[in-house]
Amino acid sequence: MHNHLLEIYDAEEFAGPNPISVTGLGIIKGPENTHYYVIETSDKIQPNGRPITQLALRAHYGGDHIDQVKESVCTVGIAIMKSDCKLDAGKVYGFDDFIFWKVGKLHPKNGIEK
């Protein structure tokens, strides 16, 4: 597992902590075969007023690869799931499954741990 800090940009209406301590869970396939890095927050956060513990991140810039998201500092698009489900690495998700929420930056926390 990888431990990170997720910094949320333009977070004026977000009342939670910033940055957020998160743990990487794995990679899923999303819309248009884009890869997303699933993270779990150490505490529940409430984007859009709904408590959640998982977010899906994708590389924000076209030249960045999903491995950069996992292993180095990277600007990311942050999505939340529309339903209250746990993300499953074996499933392919579509546009109807995600709500694109914010842009942020993912930082490794003390390098790669565990």
List pLDDT tens digits, range 5-26.
999 998 888 888 899 999 998 8
How many Cβ atoms from other residues are within 10 Å of residue 83's Cβ?
A: 6
Question: CB within 8 A of 25, min separation 6: which ones?
Answer: 1, 38, 39, 40, 54, 87, 89
Question: Which H helix or E strand runs over 40?
Answer: strand 35-45
List pLDDT tens digits, range 50-84.
788 889 999 888 777 787 777 888 999 999 877 65
The reported pLDDT for the residue numbered 7 is 94
> What pTM was estimated for this model as a whole?
0.85
Q: How far apart are CA 43 and CA 54, in angstroms?
A: 10
| Residue 71 structure tokens | 């292993």
Q: How far apart are CA 37 and CA 69, in angstroms?
A: 7
List pLDDT tens digits, range 24-41.
988 888 888 889 999 999
Average pLDDT, the chain: 84
| pLDDT at 113 exceeding the cut of 60 | no
DSSP 46-65: -GGG--EEEEEEEESSTT--
The reported pLDDT for the residue numbered 96 is 84
